[in-house]
Structure 1
Amino acid sequence: MPMNAVNTARPTYPGVYVEELPSSARTISTVTTSVTAFVGHTRRGPLNEPVRVTSFTEFERRFGGLSSRSAVGYAAHQFFGNGGTVAVIVRVARSGSGRAACVTLESTEGHSESPVLEVHAKEPGGWGNGLRVAVDYDTPRPDDTFNLRVYDAKGAARESFTGLSMDASHGRHAPTVINAGSRLIRVEAVGEGRPDPSGTVSKPFGHELPNLAVDLTVKIGEVEREFTLHDPDCDGEAPSTVTELALLLERKLRALPDAPGRHAFAGAEVTAFGRRLQVVAGSTDPEDVVRFVGECANDLGLEASVNPPVFPLEGGEDGEAPGPGDLIGSEADKTGIQALRDVEDVNLLVLPELAAYESTDDAVTVVSAAQRLCEERRIFLLVDAPGTWVSVDTARAGLAAFDAVRGNHAGLYFPHLQLTDPITGRLRAFPPSGAVAGVYARTDSERGVWKAPAGTEARLAGVHSLTVALTDRETGLLNPLGVNCLRTMPMVGPLVWGARTLEGSDALDSEWKYVPVRRLALHVEESLRRGLQWVVFEPNDENLWQQIRLGASSYLHTLFRQGAFKGGTPREAYFVKCDRDTTTDEDIANGVVNVLVGFAPVRPAEFVIVSIQQTSGQFEL
């Protein structure tokens, strides 16, 4: 165990002196095993940008939650419901589809109306049509700066940016501050001047307020009301400051009767800034514009600037579901599944949209590209059976299409799941990969990556039934072909009942036949790759080889004690070889050090055979 060095003093008395020295041993830490990437269509979120989420609540906040058009949303929901803890979401849309909602804020400060600030939803999609922005000048410098607030469709305040300026040299330059801090919008300056404030803004009052004992008529939307601004008999002494006037006017407006079911008058807000007033209706309905009419209102300067209470973003359009080419993406542009190339900790990949493809060939094309990525990045792919596989016969007939992609970095699962749709409350079918990924994560956490994610412990939580009820005989037809069956067992319910890779067909006789063996190897490979990074540029000699052997053996011994390998002793379970036999003089001259690691994996017990013999006579106990 490494310890910090301590410099002891020069010995001055007879006795024992203790000094801590740093250890030369380097530990190898285990890496993650069940971080799952979901790639496909979502309601919202950044396009082609991997985002890590640790709960479905966070998924809802970042990607909009469930949608009837998003298989990824349901898969993520089932993943977390079955024990998943960390997911990486990559939103993909069909190329050229989808638009971000926007609104252009204008300015009349220069006595002519002109656009000054474009506000766009941060990401494309119809979700942005629910955003509203409000502007006010209630700042320490009301003649130069402004505040901008973002609301959702329900009127809840989501973000606030204060003291903004349109001057690019200002420390609170609006585009710089908002674009760096907002998760909902981005803005672009398109002109000079500040955006006009929301609601009705008065002209500046003089140093002394005018006579306030006047009758005013106010309209909000189609509702018109009359009231006396200041009644000395009821209101007492007249306001002497603009702030006091704002409080009086707000109280008067809130006392007026609203239209049935509305909150426009009851929630009205009046703010004083500088020598002016801003009057905003108490709703986020853009139609609820506050208008003061009549000569008295004009005398008070309440007809100066009239705007809606909020400026709604419009024109957002959801992108269409991605096609095969969009999912595969571009390695150069890091789009689609290729966006995962820069993500270190991804262990499982789920592509739930493939099950709905009408063409199995298109699905196989994506699976082929995904497997290439998985082989390069040490990821395991969970493949959903096509939705057209509605029986054992259709599954056996359609399996030939996957012969071209029978790799050992993927597993195929059949049939689909029957769950209650949280949106409609009705039972419907879903591809199983999201729930199965959750079972993988739960099994890894409880037992280890070397335990097959199948069996009575691999129960599928929340699943009502399966689209195809498989018998033992039917499972026996599919299992030898490398299809992982989902079964419903008495007293347990729906569960995973298979643990073979796509290369796990009996006919192929692959050493990577089983999912836990393949995943354990990936886990060991990635842990050693990261844990031996320190070796680069070290002197390539016996001292280095000894440290490599020590570190790798210590790591493998930990796995052995946890039950990852078979064998009664470490010698039977694993070995590490790094010496003159693996690294020759020519290798040393070329800067190469070769490490040979071997381990004996524990293979799952697929077939448990119980032999029963009938005997006659009595047994002595």
Structure 2
Amino acid sequence: MAVSVSYPGVYVQEISSGVRTITGVATSIAAFAGWAPTGPNVATLVTSWNDFVEQFGGLDSRSYLGYAVSHFFSNGGQLAYIVRLVSTVAADAGQVGDLQLEVGETNGEKRFIELRTRREGTWSSEYGAALTVTDDRFQIVVSQKGAKKDELVPVESFVGLSTKQDDERYVLNVLNAQSKLLQMDEPDPKKDPLPVPTKPVAFTPFAHGRDAKVLDPDPNGADKGKAFVDALNANRTQGGGGLVLLDDVDLFNLLSVPGLQDTAAIQLLSAYCHQRRALLLVDAKKAATITTVPTDAGDLHTSDSSYAALYFPWITAPDPAADNRLRAFPPSGFVAGIYARTDAGRGVWKAPAGTEATLVGASRVTTTMTDVENGLLNPKGVNCIRDFSGYGTVVWGARTLDGNDEIGSEWKYVPVRRTALFIEETLYRALKWVVFEPNDEPLWAQIRLNVGAFMNDLFRQGAFQGTTPKDAYFVKCDKETTTQSDINKGIVNVVVGFAPLKPAEFVIVRIQQIAGPIATA
């Protein structure tokens, strides 16, 4: 703003430097989709395994979802969105538990306070509530049945409650706002208001809780995985809404649908990841072999294949829900955790593979392969997981589904694709301030300054090839990139280029003997 001068003297004016610091977006927020017996039907953020257990019930041997999330967090993951898939058939939906607390009588008619659980499922039968009365107030205690007969373990308590709607401790408002287990419906305005409790109520368990129909992605199952795929593709008016619920999520970087083996569904997910600037982690078929998996990779290839990476084989690991007996699990949950751990320690430009990429919690792979067999799969864009003595089970591949050598794609490597997505998403968000600014050299100079500073910071962190910034990246925004015709159309063009780091897949060591001095005379 110009200074308005009115008297002789010194005037101080602050001038903007034009610097708008660009901060990189997160790179390892995962999204998991699968069936769970209970949980909210919205894309839900969980920040720990305990958080998932609290909202979705933990491990369930009928679904890979809980196990994949557990593997993600145990291998370094920190943030994940969960999309709970439910049947599109209304009759297959689950049901919440409910109970009625008989609190008195009016004109000989019994009066109740009705409670419901927040989540559906049979788990609710292990919980219940009791009510005690103190003067004109009452208390509700929620307990879980203990291991011993008649043992109750209190989990929630709400004191000083009232049935008066204008009271700050109105029971409906308190429970709906504070309880993690209970909820109450608004009373019917055509009926009497909530009754005032006049007598205590002993512990009463919830009833009628029912799990939703199990959805299995296995193509060899009873319905060949059809109900699972239908739920995945459901719109918002069908069941829980399917993967479309992720549209409400601002940002995710990795997508896993554990155990999914339907080719058409995987291709659709690759296209969706392209749209969301994310990467799909694809599980090889459970029955895949070293011979069949290259064909599977070829069948999955589309124009969006650089937004997906295929991992083979499945992982054998202890099952905590079955006395830690060994069981085969899809690898994508483990791999998503490896991505997060690598990003945190080395950066998104480091391949999430190698001797550092050890799978925590894995016992072994379901298919052991030799170096020669690995050499048959790697050029086909199949990322192998292998057991190495001294290192354990490690990820030993870093190619996208565009990584088949015969394709010759510039996006054959996972870290190259993910680095580009990171830069694209960051600049997409960071340059919103440019919209509606005067489209001329002062604006272009500011863009070059801010984007250049961001790219230089990445260069100093080792994200690019080259020994100097000039060799590593460039930022162009001037009259060459934005012509007068562009200006007339309201367009400003920013061109950003970078020299990506590519993983050293093949380390060649040349050894030569040095002959000792040879007497020639």
> TM-score by structure 2 length?
0.87
Determine the structure 1 residue equivalent to 2:499. 600
User: What is the deviation of 1:415?
Assistant: 0.4
Distance across 1 between alignment mates of 2:459 and 2:57: 43
1:81 matched to 2:74 = yes
Select which of 124, 127, 131 maps to 1:131. 127
Select which of 41, 61, 84 maps to 1:68. 61
Select which of 329, 332, 344 maps to 2:234. 329
Assess if the C-alpha contact under 8 Å between 1:364 and 1:405 holds in 2: no
Assess if the C-alpha contact under 8 Å between 2:294 and 2:382 holds in 1: no
Distance across 1 between alignment mates of 2:470 and 2:30: 34
Question: What SS does the aligned partner of 2:291 have?
Answer: helix
Distance across 1 between alignment mates of 2:36 and 2:315: 21
Determine the structure 2 residue equivalent to 1:161. 158
Is the deviation greater in 167-176 or in 550-559? 167-176
Question: What SS does the aligned partner of 1:118 have?
Answer: strand
Is the deviation greater in 322-331 or in 107-116? 107-116
Determine the structure 1 residue equivalent to 2:178. 181
Determine the structure 2 residue equivalent to 1:281. none
Question: Rg larger in 1 or in 2?
Answer: 1
Select which of 10, 15, 38 maps to 2:32. 38
Select which of 102, 109, 116 maps to 1:113. 109
Question: What SS does the aligned partner of 1:526 have?
Answer: helix
Question: What SS does the aligned partner of 2:320 have?
Answer: coil
> What amino acid maps onto 1:37 in structure 2?
A
Distance across 2 between alignment mates of 1:545 and 1:485: 46
> What amino acid maps onto 2:313 in structure 1?
P
Q: 1:26 to 1:45 in 2, by over 3 A?
A: same
> What amino acid maps onto 1:32 in structure 2?
A
Select which of 315, 320, 335 maps to 1:422. 320
Assess if the C-alpha contact under 8 Å between 2:97 and 2:116 holds in 1: yes
Deviations 1:181-231 (A, max 9, x none): 322121123553545859xx4xxxxxxxxxxxxxxxxxxxxxxxxxxxxxx
Assess if the C-alpha contact under 8 Å between 1:53 and 1:86 holds in 2: yes
Determine the structure 1 residue equivalent to 2:94. 98
Assess if the C-alpha contact under 8 Å between 1:411 and 1:484 holds in 2: yes
Determine the structure 2 residue equivalent to 1:560. 459
1:507 matched to 2:425 = no
User: What is the deviation of 1:167?
Assistant: 4.2
Select which of 379, 382, 389 maps to 1:490. 389
> What amino acid maps onto 2:181 in structure 1?
L
Distance across 2 between alignment mates of 1:571 and 1:516: 21
Distance across 1 between alignment mates of 2:304 and 2:435: 35
1:360-379 matched pairs, under 5 angstroms: 360=261, 363-379=262-278
Assess if the C-alpha contact under 8 Å between 1:367 and 1:405 holds in 2: no
Select which of 145, 148, 152 maps to 2:140. 148
User: What is the deviation of 1:59?
Assistant: 2.0
> TM-score by structure 1 length?
0.74
User: What is the deviation of 1:420?
Assistant: 1.1
Deviations 1:245-283 (A, max 9, x none): xxxxxxxxxxxxxxxxxxxxxxxxxxxxxxxxx5xxxxx
User: What is the deviation of 1:541?
Assistant: 1.3
Distance across 2 between alignment mates of 1:70 and 1:494: 23
> What amino acid maps onto 1:147 in structure 2?
Q
Q: 1:157 to 1:11 in 2, by over 3 A?
A: farther
Determine the structure 2 residue equivalent to 1:344. 250
1:442 matched to 2:341 = yes
Distance across 2 between alignment mates of 1:194 and 1:342: 36
Question: What SS does the aligned partner of 2:407 have?
Answer: coil
> What amino acid maps onto 1:414 in structure 2?
F
Assess if the C-alpha contact under 8 Å between 1:368 and 1:405 holds in 2: no
Assess if the C-alpha contact under 8 Å between 1:517 and 1:601 holds in 2: yes
Q: 1:473 to 1:616 in 2, by over 3 A?
A: same
Q: 1:446 to 1:115 in 2, by over 3 A?
A: same
> What amino acid maps onto 2:442 in structure 1?
N
User: What is the deviation of 1:400?
Assistant: 4.3
> What amino acid maps onto 1:477 in structure 2?
L
Determine the structure 1 residue equivalent to 2:23. 29
Assess if the C-alpha contact under 8 Å between 1:131 and 1:153 holds in 2: yes
Deviations 1:520-575 (A, max 9, x none): 00000011111111111111111111000100000000111111111121111111
Q: 1:319 to 1:451 in 2, by over 3 A?
A: same
Select which of 297, 300, 309 maps to 1:402. 300
Distance across 2 between alignment mates of 1:315 and 1:123: 12
Question: What SS does the aligned partner of 2:246 have?
Answer: helix
Distance across 1 between alignment mates of 2:111 and 2:233: 40
Deviations 1:289-330 (A, max 9, x none): xxxxxxxxxxxxxxxxxx5x1222111111123411212332
Assess if the C-alpha contact under 8 Å between 1:151 and 1:158 holds in 2: yes
**RMSD (Å), alpha carbons:** 2.6
User: What is the deviation of 1:367?
Assistant: 1.4
Distance across 1 between alignment mates of 2:8 and 2:128: 73
Question: What SS does the aligned partner of 2:311 have?
Answer: strand
Question: What SS does the aligned partner of 1:591 have?
Answer: coil
Distance across 1 between alignment mates of 2:247 and 2:492: 26
1:192 matched to 2:192 = yes
Q: 1:539 to 1:19 in 2, by over 3 A?
A: closer
Distance across 1 between alignment mates of 2:138 and 2:194: 7
Question: What SS does the aligned partner of 1:451 have?
Answer: coil
Question: What SS does the aligned partner of 2:140 have?
Answer: strand
Distance across 1 between alignment mates of 2:334 and 2:129: 39
Select which of 499, 510, 515 maps to 1:611. 510
Deviations 1:374-424 (A, max 9, x none): 1111111111111121x2123245444323576111100000111111122
User: What is the deviation of 1:605?
Assistant: 1.1
> What amino acid maps onto 1:567 in structure 2?
G
Unaligned runs of 5+ in 1: 1-8, 202-277, 279-306, 355-359
Distance across 1 between alignment mates of 2:274 and 2:481: 25
Q: Calculate percent identity across the aligned residue pairs.
A: 45
Assess if the C-alpha contact under 8 Å between 1:116 and 1:193 holds in 2: no
Distance across 1 between alignment mates of 2:410 and 2:47: 35
1:316 matched to 2:204 = no
Distance across 1 between alignment mates of 2:420 and 2:232: 27
1:211-230 matched pairs, under 5 angstroms: none
User: What is the deviation of 1:149?
Assistant: 2.7
The size of the alignment, in residue pairs, is 488
Q: 1:116 to 1:587 in 2, by over 3 A?
A: farther
Deviations 1:566-620 (A, max 9, x none): 112111111111111111222222222111111110111111222333442259x
Distance across 2 between alignment mates of 1:616 and 1:496: 41
Is the deviation greater in 399-408 or in 493-502? 399-408
> What amino acid maps onto 2:138 in structure 1?
F
Distance across 2 between alignment mates of 1:22 and 1:382: 44
Distance across 1 between alignment mates of 2:195 and 2:369: 65
Q: 1:585 to 1:446 in 2, by over 3 A?
A: same
Select which of 458, 474, 492 maps to 1:575. 474
Distance across 2 between alignment mates of 1:67 and 1:32: 30
Distance across 1 between alignment mates of 2:484 and 2:110: 76
> What amino acid maps onto 1:311 in structure 2?
T
Assess if the C-alpha contact under 8 Å between 2:301 and 2:402 holds in 1: no
